[in-house]
Structure 1
Amino acid sequence: MDDDDNYPQWSDEEDDDHFSENVFDTADYENLATTSYAYTVVTEMSLLTMQMEQLNIMKEILALPENSARILLINHRWDVRRILELFERKGKERLFSEAGVTLHENNGPSLSSQSKITCNVCFEDFSMDEVSMMSCGHYYCNNCWTEHFIIKINDGESRRIRCMTPNCNAICNEEVVRKLLKSKSPDIASRFDRFLLESYIEDNNKVKWCPSTPHCGNAIQVEDEIYCEVECSCGLQFCFNCLSKVHSPCSCKMWDLWSKKCQDDSENINWIIVNTKPCPKCQKKVDKNGGCNLVKCICGQHFCWLCGAATGSAHTYSKIKGHSCGRYDDEKVKHIEHAKRSLHRYTHYYDRYKVHADSLKHENEFKVTFEELVRTSKSEESNHKSFRWALNGANQLLRARQVLSNSYPFAFYMFGDELFQDEMTPEERLQKQNLFEVQQQQLEFQVENLSMCLGKGFHGISDTELFDTSLHIINLTRIVNRLCKELYLCIEDDLLSPLQINHPIAPYKSQALTKNQ
């Protein structure tokens, strides 16, 4: 039975109006994803606004000044929900004390009647206007405070500068820090303000800088799910959790292992074990390039390729003179056979991973072409001439190709011995591998179909042929999307879910990644 028989087909009896309403409805493509997660691109201009929104919430709910609200938010990584939970559970005093917020501010030392105050750091006498006091009640001369601030900022502790008094947990008032730094070191004061602003990203579990190089200046804020794949307005797509390139259905751990494996020399070592033998004299690795089992190292030593033992230079076709090879080293043979299997397995998965990754690069041209067709099409033209369906198909193709490429490193670790050796019996592993590979091959087949149809182009064909082509591509787009969903469900429910080891993967999102800007 043909594979396409398993999927719904469009009937030729349906009229043009029906297709105009349903088949070409672009909203249908915007709701293809199985899991919805939202994120926002944070630009440099919107950073201050978003930070102030959080500060205002804390100021209003807990009746705090901005300085104390910021200290509390930084301490709890800008998680308002978490702060409110702790407020109910721990109480106000304990919550504030642990964060370094002074609950009852001291307005000043009871020394206003005295003309001089001694600084307990430099032990010099100063007038009242040469001394500053923090909300905790501790006071020192302005020079000592300023030097303390500069040292802390240069050491990277600018967002939580603690009071100089030993065992005091209070965080210094940012207004005092800013005022003293501006008078002595404006550059450090600007850095301090910048650090406070960027703390919304640096100290926030739900916000991360875009890892683009050179840096675009943007960040990404997610709502709830940190294991997700996002796209910055600069065009870079990446995993929010580990900041690597988009890699689902691989978990972050799998992708980290795969990236290192592709970069290091582990497979080169395996090739050397399989294809070379050490010279018994100088121990250099020798590669056999002839049919005879007598080989010669560059140091001049002759040895037998079969067992690696040294011998003379005279030999015949059937026997090396003075040396009969009948030795057998079981451990050595096992080691070489294991290296051969390991090399063959890695090569199998890497080749297929690379083939789909290369196809993805070429198929990006489809998207560029169809975006131009959509831009140049006239608004009054019928839906199938707007080429929106072709662009949707290209977007779905790129996403599916990405999934297919990454599915091979997933399979390499899922059914190998590195991560899940003790999690499955050999029978369970084989059963799960067969289930996965059937779904993977179905997706692969339909992705190639979609790629072939989109790659033919639409120039020089009649209006009827264009209409029929559009219906076929729409159908293939939906089939590919459904197969992607099913592959993810198989991975999440049948493969990863029963295991004890937690390997969260980013949910499947069809076509373009959803973002708010």
Structure 2
Amino acid sequence: METNSKKMSDCDSDTKTTSDDDYELNDSFCSDIEEDGETDNVEPKTPDPEHFEYECLNEEETDHFLNETAVGLSEHLPISPSSTKVLLQQNKWNAADVLEKFYNNASNHAVSERIEAATTAIASMSISSAPTMIQQNDESGENASSNGEPEIVTPSHTCPVCTDVQAVEKFHSLPCQHSFCQDCWTMHFSIQIKQGITTKIGCMEQQCKIRAPEDFVLNLLDEPTRERYQRFAFVEYVKSHPELRFCTGPNCKIIIRSTDISAKKATCNSCKSAFCFKCGSIYHAPMGCQMLREWLAKCEEHENAPKFKFTHKTCKYCPKCHVSIEKIGGCNLMICSNCGCYFCWLCTKSLESHVMGPFTCSRYNEIFNINHKTMHIHNEMLRKFLHYYNRWRSHSKSLQQEQQTLNILTARINEEVAKTRKPLSDWQYLFDGAALLANCRYTLQYTYPYAYYMETGPRKDLFEYQQSQLEAEIENLSWKIEHSETANRADFEKQMIIAEKRRTILLKDFFANDE
């Protein structure tokens, strides 16, 4: 078992309602990072809004944790640990909630949670389910054997399913008292397990809702089926426990456990896969889980539309000399090799046209057309969506291109190490910069869906300001990595600090750790 933890954070990462004064305070705090890269006025340590404590468990450790919880609770209840597991699973493994419900009304709670049957039902079934006595009688009506001596009568019972008459010892029943032979129980369990049903296996009686506890099922299964049942049941227990999440990595058997059930990033210590702990989906800060679901559904809806087509252009035209330029790196700051024009790849406008500063084109400007109101609303909604969608996809593409750049850089560094015999640690800052760049751009990518759902107002104005500042620093860092041969190491490391500071500030103010 290994515990993973980031820096301690004293801040609340939930989205909060903030006054206009707060916006001015945050804006001035952001302006502490000067455009020329000065960081003297910046606090040396900023609370990490992504702070998240969790631990990585293997299957044995997780199974021990689940069983320990059930055994510990069963010591306070008059039921077995396996029946306690049924209660815990039904109540999302909240032991305190189970105890409170049980002691408030033990009988009703047991019935409602399907571990016991109602008293009237048991009484009615006890008569009809009573074992029958098979015996031989002579002509006088007395029990007799062939040699004239009394015959020993063996209690037996007719199975309601297979109608076979068998000894009572071969019959089993749940607390509901519905009795069936062992062969029928085994067949019933095997069929249910093949269908993927384990912890919700119930009694064979059609109208009965009693659940079969784990120990009852295991005692009636053969070894192969028992192993399959335990494997499926383990998955069901983990999925029902709010503090446990399966790692999303391919074929990874690690389970993440945390008492902080929030939309924070969990990284597996085995396969290094990262995901949102709360929803189990891709990590999506600063978006909330529900917001991500809505965004992905909207993207799927538009992508499946007949007239919708997204193409990531690798070639665009210079806004000054109109020569065709191909983008092969992740940086969106472009220089035309023909005329030397600096322009933004996202909007294909010269940086001089960005009056408010670089990458102010990330803001969406609504166009009003009162002459064609109905058509305008539809077109404006589509235009707004495409504005944010295209940038969301473009930054995703930039992440892939920057990974290719890193691969080329790594090969070049390895050649340099072989030639000069310098230690690889001399270039470690470049690898650190590439990792930080990927983290910052990943956050930037999900700021666009976040902005799409924001309401117009001072809070969105502040967000778009911080978003444009973060984007500018990310592109500067990407540029330095692509031109690492001529970049100054001190400037490079300073740019890393500035970019991460911008990202941290944005998440601190807008991390939607909601729901």
Considering the TM-score relative to the shorter chain, is it more than 0.5? yes
Task: Tell me whether 228-237 or 361-370 shows the greater mean CA deviation.
Answer: 361-370
SS at match of 1:208: strand
Distance 1:363 1:8 in 2: 26
Alignment of 1:203 onto 2:240: yes
Q: How does 1:143-182 map to 2 (within 5 A)?
A: 143-165=183-205, 168-182=208-222
How far did residue 10 of structure 1 move? 9.8
Q: How does 1:74-473 map to 2 (within 5 A)?
A: 74-87=89-102, 90-102=104-116, 115-119=154-158, 121-122=160-161, 123-165=163-205, 168-182=208-222, 187-212=224-249, 214-232=250-268, 233-265=270-302, 333-364=372-403, 389-415=429-455, 429-457=456-484, 466=489, 469=490, 472-473=491-492
Report if the CA contact (8 A) 2:199-2:213 is conserved.
Answer: no
Report Cα offsets for 1:368-404 as digits up to 9, x if no partner. Answer: 7689989x99xxxxx9956555444333322211111
SS at match of 1:116: strand
How far did residue 440 of structure 1 move? 0.9
Distance 2:36 2:469 in 1: 13
How many residues are aligned here? Answer: 390
Report if the CA contact (8 A) 2:437-2:478 is conserved.
Answer: yes
Distance 1:387 1:92 in 2: 67
How far did residue 270 of structure 1 move? 7.1
Distance 2:406 2:202 in 1: 54
Report if the CA contact (8 A) 1:201-1:207 is conserved.
Answer: yes
Aligned counterpart, 2:83:
68
Report if the CA contact (8 A) 1:443-1:484 is conserved.
Answer: yes
Distance 1:341 1:269 in 2: 19
Report the AA paired with residue 442 of structure 2: Q
Distance 2:391 2:241 in 1: 38
How far did residue 446 of structure 1 move? 1.6
Distance 1:504 1:78 in 2: 22
Closer/same/farther in 2, CA of residues 332 and 448 from structure 1, 3 Å limit = closer
Distance 1:85 1:474 in 2: 56
Any gaps of 5 or more consecutive residues in structure 2?
1-30, 134-151, 310-368, 418-422
1:488 corresponds to which of 496, 507, 514: 507
Aligned counterpart, 1:478:
497
Distance 1:169 1:256 in 2: 34
Report Cα offsets for 1:96-141 as digits up to 9, x if no partner. Answer: 343333599x9x9997996223235145432133222335544322
Task: Tell me whether 351-360 or 117-126 shows the greater mean CA deviation.
Answer: 117-126
Closer/same/farther in 2, CA of residues 408 and 475 from structure 1, 3 Å limit = same
Aligned counterpart, 2:67:
52
Distance 1:162 1:489 in 2: 49
Distance 2:38 2:101 in 1: 52
What percent identity do the matched residue pairs reach?
23
How far did residue 194 of structure 1 move? 1.9
2:514 corresponds to which of 496, 504, 510: 504
Q: CA RMSD in A?
A: 4.5
Report the AA paired with residue 221 of structure 1: R
Report if the CA contact (8 A) 2:264-2:283 is conserved.
Answer: no
SS at match of 1:3: coil
Closer/same/farther in 2, CA of residues 91 and 118 from structure 1, 3 Å limit = same
Any gaps of 5 or more consecutive residues in structure 1?
12-22, 273-329, 378-382, 416-428, 497-502, 506-517
SS at match of 1:440: helix
Report if the CA contact (8 A) 1:78-1:200 is conserved.
Answer: no
Distance 1:447 1:115 in 2: 84
SS at match of 1:160: coil
SS at match of 2:55: strand
Aligned counterpart, 1:297:
none
Aligned counterpart, 2:35:
4
Report the AA paired with residue 259 of structure 2: E
Distance 1:208 1:442 in 2: 35
Report if the CA contact (8 A) 1:211-1:243 is conserved.
Answer: yes
Closer/same/farther in 2, CA of residues 76 and 394 from structure 1, 3 Å limit = same
Report the AA paired with residue 218 of structure 2: R
Distance 2:290 2:255 in 1: 23
Distance 1:75 1:204 in 2: 10
Report Cα offsets for 1:407-430 as digits up to 9, x if no partner. Answer: 112112224xxxxxxxxxxxxx24
How far did residue 32 of structure 1 move? 5.8
Report Cα offsets for 1:437-490 as digits up to 9, x if no partner. Answer: 11111111222222233333369x9xxx64xx2xx4443333323322322343
Report Cα offsets for 1:478-514 as digits up to 9, x if no partner. Answer: 332332232234335xxx7xxxxxx828xxxxxxxxx
Distance 1:56 1:366 in 2: 54
Report if the CA contact (8 A) 1:135-1:173 is conserved.
Answer: no
Report the AA paired with residue 229 of structure 1: K
SS at match of 2:287: coil
SS at match of 2:212: coil
Closer/same/farther in 2, CA of residues 271 and 221 from structure 1, 3 Å limit = closer
Report Cα offsets for 1:79-98 as digits up to 9, x if no partner. Answer: 3344345446x354444343
